[in-house]
Chain A
Amino acid sequence: MSEALSSAFTIAAPTQISIALAISAILFSLGLIGFLCRRNLIIMFLCTELMFQGAALAMIAFARMRMDVSGQVFVIFILTVAAAEAALALGLVVLLYRRRETLNSEAWADLGES
C-alpha cells in the first residue's frame, strides 16, 4: 500500500466492515422484532427508525468497503425520508390518538377484513 494515501484509503478495514454489517443486520432484525412485538403506535414507528438505522449502517459499511461515496449519499436520502416520515406518520398518529384516546395498534383492528 502506498503511504501517500490518506487514512481513508490506507486501511481496507475488513474486520470493522464485517462487524458493522453484522450490527446492521442485527439492528434491522431488532427493529423488525420490535415492530412485531410492540403495540404502541409511536414505538412501532420508532422501530421502523431502528430498521432505517440498520439499513443506513449497511450503506455506510458498503461505502467504506467499495470506497464509493454513493452509499453515504444514500444515507443522506434515508435521513430525508426518515424526517418526512416522522413528520407525517407522527401527525397521523396524533390524529388516530384523538379519535380513540389510545395508542394501541389493536384498537384499529376493526379496519381488518374479518
Chain B
Amino acid sequence: MVPILFYAACAVASAGLLLLLMSSGGNAGHDGQGRAMRAVATVLGLAGIAWILVVIVQAIPVTNDSLGQVGLMILCAFISIGSAVRVITHHRPVFCALYFVLVVVSGAAMYVLLSAEFVAFSLIIVYAGAILITYLFVLMLAQQSPADTKGADAVDYDRVAREPAGAVIAGFVLVAVLGGSIFGGNHTTARAAADQALAVRGAWNDLARMPRFLTEQARRVDASAIAVVRQPDGQMLTVQPDFSAAVTVAHADGSAPSTIILPPALLPDNTSRVGMALVTKFPVSLELAGVILLMAMLGAVVLARRQSEATAHDTPREHNS
C-alpha cells in the first residue's frame, strides 16, 4: 500500500463528507446552491471511497478470492457506507434509524461473505429486530411537536451539524491511522498460508477439547470405533500437513487401538464452532453477559418506575405553581 495515496483518498472522502455536513446546515438544503453542494459532496465521497478500496485491493499481493464475492463485498461496502453517511446527515431521526437498519443489513451480508453466518443472522434479529425497534419507540416517545420545528422539516438541533470540520478532521485522522496500521504491514503469500495453517490447527484443536464429538466424527470414518483415546504423546490428535488429523481410536471388538485419519471436511461448520467456543472457551464470559442483560433489565425497570413516580409528583406541583 502506498500510504500517501491512501491518505489522499481518505482526504477526498472526508472533504465530501464535510461538504455534505455543511450543506445540510441551516436552510441551505432547500435552494439550488445546497443541492449542487450535496451533489458535489456525494461525488467526492463516492470517489474517495472507491479510491480507498482501490488502494487497498492493490496492496494485496496475491488474491484467490472469487470475483463474485469481492464484487458483492464492494456492493455491500457502498451500501453500508452510504447508509452510514445518511445516518449521520439525515435531518429526521426516524430516517436515521431506518438507514441504520440498512447499515446493519449490509453488515450482515458482509458477515455472511466472511462466513460468519450465525452472527450475521443474530445481528439482524437482535439489532435490526430488537434494538432498532427500541430506538424507533423512543424516538416516537420523545418526538418534538411541530411547533418546535418552526416550519422546517426538523428541529434546529437535528438540522445544524455541530463543529463538522473538527469532527471530520478527527474522523480523518482516525481512519488514516487505522488504515495505516492495518494495511501498512507486509502482506505476502507465505504469511497468508501460515495464517491459514494456524487457523486449521486451531479448528482441530478446538475439536480435541470435546472427545465425544471427536468420537462421533471418527465413527464416520471407522464405524467400529467406540472411543478416541490419547496418543502416546498425550495429545488427542495430530494435525497432518494436508490439514487432516490423525486420531487413535479404540474398537468395539476389543482389538488393539488403531490410528485413523480424519479429513478436514469433518471439521464442524461455523455455527457449531461458535457454539462450542461459547461453552468451552468462554463460559464465564457467557455467564457475565447474562448478568449484564439481567442488570440492564433491572435498571430499565428502575428507570421506568422513577419516571412514573416523577410524573406522578410533578403533575400536581405544576398545578400548584
Contact = CB atoms under 8 A, between A and B. Distances in A.
Contacts of A14: 60, 62-63, 65, 187, 192
Contacts of A49: 100, 127, 131
Contacts of B293: 80, 83-84
B270 to A, nearest CB: 6
B186 interface: no
A97 to B, nearest CB: 4
Interface residues of B, number: 119
B43 interface: no
B278 A76 contact: yes
Interface string B67-94: 0011001101100110011011000010
Contacts of B115: 7-8, 64
Interface string A48-78: 0110010011001101111111101101110
Contacts of A4: 243-244, 263-265
Interface in A4-26: 4-9, 11-23, 25-26
B210 interface: no
Contacts of B263: 4
Given A12-B196, A16-B65, A37 B21 contact: yes
Interface stretch (B32-40, B217-225, B249-257, B304-312): B304-312
A26 B182 CA distance: 13
A75 B301 CA distance: 26
B49 interface: yes
Given A19-B57, A29-B175, A6 B264 contact: yes
Contacts of B174: 25, 28-29, 32
Contact of B161 (A12, A38, A75, A105): A38
Given A23-B110, A26-B84, A37-B162, 13 more contacts: A5-B200, A14-B192, A16-B73, A19-B70, A26-B52, A26-B81, A33-B88, A33-B168, A36-B167, A37-B167, A53-B104, A76-B278, A94-B303
Contacts of A84: 292-293, 295-296
Interface in B197-212: 198-200, 202-203, 206
Contact of B65 (A15, A75, A83): A15
B96 A23 contact: no
A22 B53 contact: yes
A95 B141 CA distance: 11
Residue among B17, B85, B116, B263 with the most chain A CB within 10 A?
A: B116
Chain A interface size, as a band, is 35 or more
B303 A88 contact: yes
B242 interface: yes
Overall SS of chain A's interface: helix
B73 A19 contact: yes
B77 A87 contact: no
Interface string B132-176: 001100110110100010000001111011111011101110110
A35 B321 CA distance: 38
B285 interface: yes
B303 A95 contact: yes
A94 B303 CA distance: 9
A43 B195 CA distance: 40
A39 to B, nearest CB: 4
A44 B123 CA distance: 20
A104 B84 CA distance: 21
A25 B300 CA distance: 32
B300 A21 contact: no
Contacts of A79: 122-123, 126-127
Contact of B300 (A40, A91, A98): A91
B73 A93 contact: no
A103 B130 contact: no
